Structure 1
Amino acid sequence: MLLQLSAAELGQLIIARAGSAHLPLTEQLINKHHEIKGQKATQGDIASWDNSIPVVVRALLDCGLDEVEVLVEVDLPHTNSAVDLVLCGQHPGTGTNSYLAIELKQVRRATIDARCPIAVDLGFGDGKNKLHPVRQVQRYCEYMVRYLRHLRDGSAHLMGVALLHNARDADVEALFDLPESEHGFLYTLDDLHRFRRVLTSRFVATSGRQAAFALRESRRAPLLKVTDVARQRSVIGGGLTLLDEQYVAFDRITRHLEKTAPRTSLDVGLFYDADNAHRPPPESGGKRVYILRGGPGSGKSAVALELQRALGLKGREAVLASGSRAYTETLREIMLSTAREGQVSNKRRSANRLYQYFNNFAKTPPDSIDVLICDEAHRMRRSSTYRWTPKELRDDDRPQAAEVIRAAKVLIFLLDDHQSIRPDEVGTARYLKELAEANGCQVEVSDLEGTFRAGGSKLYQQWVQRLLGLGVSDPLAWHSDGRMTLTVADSPEQMERFIRERDLEGATARITAGFCWPWNNPNGERLVDDVHIGDWRRPWNVKPQHSVPNAPKSHLWSTDALGIGQIGCVYTAQTFEYDWNGVIIGPDLLFRHGKFTVARSASRDPAFRGPIDDSTVDRCVRNAYHVLLTRGVIGTMVYAVDPATHNELRRLIPGAIGMQHYDGAQPKLTAEGSQLPPAYSRRQR
């Protein structure tokens, strides 16, 4: 949140001053934005603060609601999305806390995408459709209710509105076709009198400070991780609250499937609706392929799982494929865990059919799968041929993606261009688009720009990409935006102690490392301590083909409590997330002359053996650390084996793991505060 003031206090800040380019309120918000988020406010933000917020403040003052508290730019928990304004006060009927979430739009005209009723051109001139303002605020409200306990306990009530204060009804008429709800009403310049009636129906003329405090201090429910979503869906049929670009993509795809479903008496349950049988015929053209591109934590897997769930509710089976063994086997095991007595075999067959690998489709008949969702599509390989492929099935020239495209009627690829980690992984948005179009498909590419990981810190994602040289800019020092905790550990022992303490507190916590140590088979029933740094030694996670007592199988390493005893590799960690993320940067990534360089000779990854060119190895190593550094939901700590690299991390990252007292108890490692002198630590041992 950028600012909290009463309507009366804001009223003093929206009076223009001679010679000033902006209102006093806007100048204050510009400074707050830079202070909190570490970057300059956009012109769109500044224009909204100058032109939109005063409309709401004047409406409150006109209604005599001077003491209603106004929260500006209220962050949604765990995301980088924010509600423009949240008004806080007391409800006139019940006397309980009352809240009004407001999305402000300066648009004057808006048109609906003919293909999707919730995708809207708001006239920004960037060629990108946005989520319908009403649906946007509806989803924001639903998300707040899901994650803020105070809004669910019955002592508070939340309403949402989208306010297009520059637009006339006639110029945005199509927007009114979307059904409104308590969490989403639409008001325009023609409706300002109605908007004022909303204010008087929601608030009384008393202080809203207590309501604002209760909302700010509301206990935040933990973010649902990928495995939580899959488990909840399997057990109780629960879905996700998709936001912004996520929801536009989801709705666009499901509507296309509704429109193109066959309409015969045999298709009841597959989006067939006898009452709408007079609708226009299905869209003509080639097979439809959707490509959803997004960074770590942008919700790609959430969209994939929600699509599969929603299609299943409509009676339409969607297969979810991946190139990740850990991801696929985890989803299968979650589904298997719901089997009733005597139904285990049937449930296992269903799980194996619904969750598959990219290399499972070489012999699949054309168009035999209704919908094929390819999550982690950046792991799509050049071909499905591998060392155990029978000779008669080997075809090194047939792209794996072509097999996948041929197998299904509708394809959905979800990917991150910076997460391919093997030399033969070629799944970029450009590659898949060109291949699909060469096979006669209609292709749509959408970007998921939000982030649900790293505390919703977009700044952290950008910082990691700059650090690793995945963008056009050089590395820069970390400046916290208050969302993500980033610290440096001085030793692997210190990192492990911190991670284990977070685990004992009930958080999920893991350590991963670059592939710079051998990965031996178990010694009987014991893992080998392959990862060694000085006197510190720990084993890798269990290899996929092995089982070891008191250690989880490889695909359960990130979710089984016993996984904290091993060091995870990139192949095990990819796709998953945990609250606290420890990352050991091995000697394959060295900071020299102001940037990271890849030392190929230090890598022990068998994928780099043979005639693999250096540029490919460079890409894979950087992408691997990009994956490792973006698994944390709450915080990430790093340690580099190379002293010069570690010193550079110390220079770039202010945070350190500190020793703090708690009520006279033994010192405890925390991620806050400066580290105490070594002598102090020695006295406490």
Structure 2
Amino acid sequence: MLLQMSAAELGRLVTAPAGSARLPLTEKLIEAHADIKGKAADRSNIDSWNNSIPVVVRALLDCGLDEVEVQIEVDLPHTNSAVDLVLCGRQPGTGSDMYLAVELKQVRHATVDPRCPIAVDLGFGDGKNKLHPVRQIQRYCEYMVRYLPHLRVDDDRLTGVALLHNARDADVEALFDLPESRHGFLYTLDDLDRFRRALTARFSPASGKRAATALEEDRRDPLLKVTDVARQRSVTGGGLTLLDEQYLAFDLITRHLEKTAPKTGFDVGLFYGSDTAPGTAARSDRKRVFILRGGPGSGKSAVALELQRALGLERREAVLASGSHAYTETLREIMISTARQGRLAARRRAAGRLYQYFNSFADAGEDSVDVLICDEAHRMRRNSTDRWTPKDLRDDERPQAAELIRAARVPIFLLDDHQSIRPDEVGTADYLRQLAEDSGCLVEVTDLEGTFRAGGSKRYQQWVQQLLGLPTPDPVAWQPDGRMTLAVADSPAQLQQFIRERGFEGATARITAGFCWPWSKPDGDRLVDDVVIGEWRMPWNVKPQHSVPDAPRSDLWSTDPHGIGQIGCVYTAQTFEYDWNGVIIGPDLVFRDGRFTVERSASHDPAFRGPVSDDDVDRCVRNAYHVLLTRGVVGTVVYAVDPATQTELRRLIPGSIGMQNHDGSRPRLTVEGAHLPPAYRRRHG
């Protein structure tokens, strides 16, 4: 949150001084933005503060609601999305805490995409559709209710509105076709009287400080992870709450599925009413391919699993494919674990059918799969040939992506251009787009801009990419932002102790490392301590096809609580997340001459053996650390084996690990020099 004041206090800041184009409030918010977010506010933010917030403040004052508290730019828990305003006050009559979330839009004209009524051109001139303002605030409210228990006390405690204060009804007429709800009403310039009536119906003249404090101090529920969606695939309302581009992409795809699906009783009314059931829209002869591109934690897997879940609830089968063994086997295991008595074999067969690998479709018939969701598509290989491929077929150079596009009536690819980690992995948005277009397909590319990891810190994601030179080297010092905690450990032993203590406190926590040590088979019933740094040693996670007592299978390392006792590598960590993330940077990535460089000779990754170019190794090593450094939901602690690199990390990262006393208890390791996010402090402190 950038700022909180009463309407009366803000009223004194919404009149521009003589000779100034900016309000005192705007100047105050520009300063707060630079201080809290560590960067200058952009023009769109400044214009909104200067032109939009005063409309709401004056409406409150006109209604005699001077003591309603106004929170500006309120962050949604665990993500970088924010509500423009949250008004906090007390309900007339009962005195109960009441809230109104307000999404402000300066637009004067708006048109709706005829293919998707929640995709709207708001006239920004960038050629990109945005989520309908009403649906945007509806999703924000649903998200807030999901993660803030104080809002769940009363169904009527939170209401949402989209305020288009510059637009006339006639100029945004198409926006009114979307049904309103308690979490989403639409007001325009023509509706300001109606907006004022809504304020007086919602709030009494009493002080809103109590309500504002209760919301600010509310305990944030833990972030739902993608595996939670898999466990809740049959539960109505049990999925993730998709926001912004996530929800827009989800809705665009589901509407396309509805229009093009065979007409069956199960399809009618899934995303349309019966008057717009399948068959009412003309079908194109050209296959449509959907590509969703986003960084770590942008919600790619959330969209994938929510698509599969939503279709499954309507008894439509969508296959989810991946190039990750850990991801696929984890999803299969979750589904099998929910089998009822006597249904284990059937559930096992269903899991094998619903969760598959990219190389499972080499011989699939054309359009034999209704919906094929290809998650982790950055791990798409050049072709499906492997060591088990019959000798007479090994010369088949057909692209693996072409097999998937051919096999699916509706192919969907979700990827990150910076997460391919093997030399033969070629999945990028540009590669898939070109391949699909060359095959005669129509292609829709959607960029997912949000982040639901690292406390919703976009700054952290950008910092990691700059650190690793993705795409160009530009390491900068980390500036704590109150969302993500980042620290440097003094030693691998201290890192291990810190991660174990977080686990003892109830957080999920793991250590990962670069692939710079051998990976041995178990010595009988014991894991070999392969990762050796000085006198300290620790084992990798269990090698595939092996088992060890009290240690999870390789593919379950990220999700099984016993995984905290081993070090994971990129192949077991990719896709997953945990509260606390410990990362050992091995000697394959060292800091020299002002930038990180890759030392190929230090890698033990078998993927780099043979005729693999140095450029491919460089790309894969950087991408691997990009994956490892972005698994943390609450915080990340790093340690570098190379002394010069460790020194540079200390220069770039102010946070460190230290021994402290809390509330008279025994000393424990905590982060120093970087503020813990308040939500974590309340949960585990």
Please, what TM-score do these two structures have when normalized by structure 1?
A: 0.96
- Say which SS state the counterpart of residue 180 (structure 2) adopts: coil
Instruction: For 2:230, give the aligned amino acid.
Output: A
Matches within 5 A, 1:270-285: 270-271=267-268, 276=276, 280-285=280-285
Give the whole-Å Cα distance in 2 for the aligned partners of 1:187 and 1:365: 51
Distance 2:487 2:502 in 1: 14
Structure 2: distance between partners of 1:236 and 1:536? 48
Q: Quick one: distance in 1 between partners of 2:502 and 2:228?
A: 19
3-state SS, counterpart of residue 486 of structure 2: strand
Letter matched to residue 270 of structure 1: D
Secondary structure of 1:378's counterpart equals helix
* 2:261 is aligned with 1:269: no
Corresponding residue for residue 590 of structure 1: 590
Once the 2 structures are TM-superposed, how far is the Cα of residue 394 of structure 1 from its aligned partner? 2.7
Distance 2:577 2:615 in 1: 28
Describe the shift of the 1:33–1:334 C-alpha distance in structure 2 as closer, same or farther (beyond 3 A): same
The residue aligned with 2:23 is 23
Deviation for aligned residue 1:389 = 1.5
In the TM superposition, residue 279 of structure 1 has moved relative to its aligned partner by 5.6
1:296 Cα deviation from its structure 2 partner: 0.1
Counting only pairs closer than 5 Å after superposition, residues 219-618 of structure 1 correspond to structure 2 as 219-234=219-234, 238-263=238-263, 267-271=264-268, 276=276, 280-472=280-472, 474-618=474-618
- The sequence identity of aligned pairs, in percent, is 77
Does residue 35 of structure 2 align to residue 38 of structure 1? no
Report the equivalent of 1:679.
none
- 1:469-490 CA distance string (max 9 Å, x none): 0034611000111100000001
Q: Deviations over 1:227-258 (max 9, x none)?
A: 12211225677122100000000000000111
SS at match of 1:671: strand
- 2:154 aligned counterpart, secondary structure: coil
More off after superposition, 323-332 vs 279-288 = 279-288
Deviation of 1:393 (Å): 3.7
Equivalent residue number for residue 215 of structure 1? 215
Which residue of 2 is the match for residue 167 of structure 1?
A: 167
1:21 shift after superposition: 3.4
Task: Tell me what 1:682 maps to.
Answer: none
- How many angstroms apart in 2 are the aligned matches of 1:307 and 1:170? 35
Deviation of the 1:673 alpha carbon:
4.5
Rounded Cα–Cα distance in structure 2 between residues aligned with 1:86 and 1:18: 30
Match of 1:680? Answer: none
Contact 2:267 2:277 (8 Å CA) reproduced: no
**Quick check: 2:369–2:409 contact (8 Å CA) kept in 1?**
yes
CA distance in 1, matches of 2:322, 2:560: 21
Report the CA distance between 1:440 and its aligned residue. 1.3
**Secondary structure, aligned partner of 1:71:** strand
Provide the secondary structure at the position in 2 that maps to 1:13: coil
Query: 1: distance between equivalents of 2:338 and 2:279?
Result: 39
- In the TM superposition, residue 260 of structure 1 has moved relative to its aligned partner by 1.1
What residue identity is the alignment partner of 1:230?
A
What is the CA–CA distance in structure 2 between the aligned matches of 1:638 and 1:254, rounded to whole Å?
A: 41
Residue 256 of structure 1 aligns with an amino acid whose one-letter code is: H
By how many angstroms is 1:373 displaced? 0.1
User: CA offsets, 1:268-304, max 9 Å, x none?
Assistant: 2234887556963432131110000000000000000
> Any gaps of 5 or more consecutive residues in structure 2?
676-685
The answer to whether the 8 A contact 1:285-1:442 is kept is no
Cα distance in structure 2, aligned partners of 1:404 and 1:348 = 23
Measured in 2, the distance between the counterparts of 1:14 and 1:237 equals 42
CA distance in 1, matches of 2:386, 2:563: 29
User: Does the 8 A contact of 1:657 with 1:674 survive in 2?
Assistant: no
Q: CA deviation at 1:316?
A: 1.6
The alignment partner of 2:672 has SS state of: coil
TM-aligned CA distance change 1:395 to 1:315, over 3 Å:
farther
Please name the residue that 2:2 is paired with: 2
Closer, same or farther in 2 for the Cα pair 1:234/1:498, shift >3 Å? farther
What are the superposed Cα offsets for residues 527-586 of structure 1, whole Å, 9 maximum, x if unpaired?
110000011100000111111111000111011111011000000000000000000000
How far is 1:399 from its partner? 0.7
Asked whether the 8 Å contact 1:514–1:570 carries over to 2, the reply is yes
Aligned residues: 672
Equivalents in 1 of 2:440, 2:15: separation in Å?
Answer: 59
Paired letter, 1:363: D
Q: 2: distance between equivalents of 1:482 and 1:312?
A: 39
TM-score (normalised: structure 2): 0.96
Structure 1 residue aligned with 2:683 = none
Alignment partners' CA distance in 2, 1:608 and 1:387: 16
The aligned amino acid for 1:503 is: G
SS in 2 for 1:646: helix
The letter of the residue matching 1:43 is R
Paired residue type of 1:464: V
Q: Which residue of 2 aligns with 1:204?
A: 204
Report the more deviating stretch, 123-132 or 660-669. 660-669
Task: Quote the Cα distance in structure 1 between the aligned partners of 2:288 and 2:33.
Answer: 42
Aligned to 2:678: none
Alpha-carbon deviations, 1:617-660, whole Å to 9, x = none? 00000000000000000000100000000000000000011211
Offset from partner CA, 1:364-409 (integer Å, 9 cap, x none): 1111110000000000000110112122443441111111111110
Q: Following the alignment from structure 2 to structure 1, what is the Cα–Cα distance between the partners of residues 289 and 295?
A: 20
Q: Could you list the per-position Cα deviations for residues 388-439 of structure 1 after superposition, in whole angstroms to 9, with x for gaps in the alignment?
A: 2122443441111111111110000000000000000000001111111111
2:489–2:638 contact (8 Å) kept in structure 1: yes
1:143-162, aligned counterparts within 5 Å?
143-154=143-154, 157-162=157-162
Distance 1:473 1:202 in 2: 52
- Please, what is the CA RMSD of the aligned residues? 1.5
Aligned equivalents of 2:234 and 2:227: distance in 1?
11
Q: Is the 8 A contact 1:5 1:69 kept in 2?
A: yes
SS at match of 2:247: helix
Distance in 1 (alpha carbons) for counterparts of 2:613 and 2:400: 22
Check conservation: 1:476, 1:652, Cα contact below 8 A: yes
Which stretch shows the higher mean deviation, 295-304 or 540-549?
A: 540-549
Q: Which runs of 5+ in 1 are unaligned?
A: 676-685
Report the secondary structure of 1:351's partner residue: helix
- Where in structure 2 are the equivalents of 1:65-76 lying within 5 Å? 65-76=65-76
Relative to 1, partners in 2 of residues 1:155 and 1:173: Cα closer, same or farther, differing over 3 Å?
closer
Q: Are 2:317 and 2:370, in contact at CA under 8 Å, matched by a contact in 1? A: yes
Aligned equivalents of 1:594, 1:21: Cα separation in 2: 43
C-alpha distance in structure 2 between counterparts of 1:515 and 1:135, whole Å: 45
Report the Cα distance in structure 1 between the residues aligned to 2:314 and 2:164, rounded to whole angstroms.
35
One-letter identity of the residue aligned with 1:423: P
Q: Deviation per CA, 1:449-495, whole angstroms, max 9, x where unpaired? A: 00000000000000000000003461100011110000000100000
Counterpart for residue 678 of structure 1: none
Q: Paired residue for 1:634?
A: 634
CA contact (8 A) 2:473 2:595 kept: no
Q: Is the 1:582–1:638 Cα contact (8 Å) retained in structure 2?
A: yes
Look up the SS of the partner of 1:649 in the other structure: helix
For the structure 1 residues 240 and 354, does the alpha-carbon distance in structure 2 shift closer, same or farther, using more than 3 Å as the test?
same
Q: Tell me by how many angstroms 1:10 deviates.
A: 0.1
Mapped partners of 1:331, 1:278: distance in 2: 31
Alignment map for 1:41-190 (pairs within 5 Å): 41-154=41-154, 157-190=157-190
**Distance change in 2, residues 1:60/1:233 (3 Å):** same
Residues 1:274 and 1:32: Cα distance change in structure 2 (over 3 Å): closer
Once residues 457 and 674 of structure 1 are traced to their aligned partners in structure 2, the CA distance between those partners, rounded to angstroms, is 14
**1:303-325 C-alpha deviation (Å, 9 max, x unpaired):** 00000011112222100000001
CA deviations 1:345-380 (Å, max 9, x no partner) are 111000000000000001111111100000000000
The residue matched to 2:74 in structure 1 has which SS? strand
- What secondary structure sits across from 1:476 in the alignment? coil
